[in-house]
A and B are shown apart, each in its own frame.
Chain A
Amino acid sequence: MTDSLTEAPPAGRIAIAGAGIRLGEGAAAFEVVRDIDLAIPPRQFVCLLGPSGCGKSTLLGALAGHLGLARGSLSLDGQPVAGPHPERGIVFQQHTLLPWRRVLDNVAFGPKMRGVPRAERLDRARDFLALVGLADFADRYPSELSGGMQQRVEIARVLINQPRVLLMDEPFGALDAQTRLMMQELLLDIWTRLPTTVVFVTHDIDEALFLGDRVLVMSARPGRILEDIPLAFPRPRGRDLVTDPDFVALKRRCLDLLRPRDGRPPLPRLTPLGLPLAGAA
């Protein structure tokens, strides 16, 4: 199983300069993220934290090549990103496995699209299923797996394309706490074996601090990068890291950054008839 896993491409350097992304049409169009400047070296594990709706998924969509920039530039290893490509794999919160294909064929989907012969792509799919610990489930259908297993298959089917960048949009957000911790450790384990840059979006501060080499905290709309926090915790990381004083201090800092502080007016107090009280805000 070693060969097909390690023959991966060399780099995965992301450079974003002055990037802005607009969504919506006509008068409703607005700039979701703005002034993003970011350099991510190869193999770095970057976590993206930010309030809901601040444009994390949008930024990831641009990295994947599903969304275009309104301005600025975005490149991978010096090549401008134009459209989706298997070198930039993406995992969403909800798996996108094809329910009509067996798990093995789901993992082999990317190679099939690129015309890899059947025997070869199924062999490789077996390797990657083993990598995520699901070698015994090759012949099942996705509906026969648990949520965590489905997400592991999803990771395998992205990694089989040997991406230089792995984009993850709250990939464990729909899992129960126990499974989520297990998935985090599995992901770190895989990542140390595969030369891949990871951009990982999450709501969960613990998750970001536990996984990342670096945490980017974004502001509410329009999304900007508020703070770029390097994480120097040694690897391999164990669960007891979460009680480390440095970890706790950083967690407090992230909480502070994420707390809405700019003057959102308090909601008006209502009378029983639903009318605002005279004189109230």
Chain B
Amino acid sequence: MSTDEATARRRYRILAVLSPLTLLGAWAFVTAQGLATPTILPSPLAVLASLTDMVGHGYSGVDLATHVLASLRRVGIAFCGGALLGTAIGLLRGRVPEIDALFLVPSELVRPIPPLGLIPLFILWFGIGETSKILLIFLSVFLIAMVNAQAGARACSLDALRAARSMGAGRWQAFRFVVLPSALPQIMTGLRVAMGTALTILVAAELLGGDRGLGFLILDASSFFRTTYVFAGIVLVGLIGLASDRAIALLGRRIVHWEGKR
């Protein structure tokens, strides 16, 4: 049993590492064979060279770390704010019909609008500074977190709630000790989805102005046909996405240690 599990886990690790390496190999092969023009698809080594160049000398007069931190700051603030508020309101919507009624139409009106379609409006309202970038990310994180928390709040059975009430739990205690933990698996899944979306919106939002951030870097490099720098920027965004997703997944497994064992 346990050795089976160990082999299964090892196989999982090997596959998880092998698949990106294969893609990298295919990329290197295609470029080495000259199957693609370097300005369209540069070789991995050229991208790596640009990356090290940026690490040493920055990009357009600004440290690479500053670009990365500018992006992380925007995502960080918007994600934390949107996750907290969205989860809180979603949980309430899941349990209190009156609150659900208040939010139903406004949130379902806004949800289908692609966030990128809101960019012109946000520029009009909040300018091209930090505020509109952060708000744009915040909004999409908020909506995703809210929908998932609401569904999660309905995950616990009526019997479980009734049993808790019959053991002396008040309404708030039943919410705190039964509803909230039952909702956590779905909340954590929602946060992973929201993080991915947040990074997408980040890059788009940074396209709309400013002189730092990974999105700016990518746009700027592409307008000067510095394709290797475009790729380096994309790789950085991808790595941030991968790291944050793994971090949330790990945190989720820690918090929701009982999931799948019921």
Contacts and interface: CB of A to CB of B under 8 A. Distances in A.
Interface of A: 61, 64-66, 83-86, 88-90, 92, 94, 96, 98-100, 109-110, 113-114, 141, 143, 157-158, 161
B167 interface: yes
Nearest to A86: B168
Contacts of A143: 258, 261-262
B166 A114 contact: no
B160 A96 contact: yes
B157 A96 contact: yes
A136 to B, nearest CB: 20
Interface string B219-262: 00000000000000000000000000000000000001110011
B29 to A, nearest CB: 48
B196 interface: no
A92 B158 CA distance: 11
B166 A98 contact: no
Contacts, number: 66
B163 A92 contact: yes
A143 B258 CA distance: 8
B31 to A, nearest CB: 50
Contacts of B166: 64-66, 84-86, 88-90, 158
Given A66-B166, A143-B261, 9 more contacts: A61-B162, A84-B162, A88-B166, A89-B167, A98-B181, A100-B258, A113-B168, A141-B258, A161-B167
A113 B181 contact: no
B174 to A, nearest CB: 9
Contacts of B177: 98, 109, 113
Contacts of B167: 86, 89, 109-110, 113, 157-158, 161
Given A88-B166, A110-B168, A96 B258 contact: no
B159 interface: yes
Contact of A94 (B159, B165, B257, B261): B159
A141 B169 contact: no
Interface residues of B, number: 21
Contacts of B160: 96, 98
A94 B261 CA distance: 16
17 contacts: A61-B162, A66-B162, A83-B165, A86-B166, A86-B167, A90-B162, A90-B166, A94-B157, A98-B181, A100-B256, A100-B258, A109-B164, A109-B169, A109-B177, A113-B173, A113-B177, A158-B166
A99 B258 contact: yes
Interface in B154-212: 157, 159-160, 162-170, 173, 177-178, 181
8 A-B pairs closest in CB distance: A110-B167, A143-B261, A96-B163, A99-B258, A86-B168, A84-B165, A96-B160, A113-B168
Contacts of A109: 164, 167, 169, 177
Contacts of B157: 94, 96
Nearest to A144: B261
Nearest to B159: A92
Interface in B135-162: 157, 159-160, 162
Nearest to B178: A98
Contacts of B162: 61, 64, 66, 84, 90
Contacts of A65: 166
B122 to A, nearest CB: 40
A101 to B, nearest CB: 9
B180 to A, nearest CB: 10
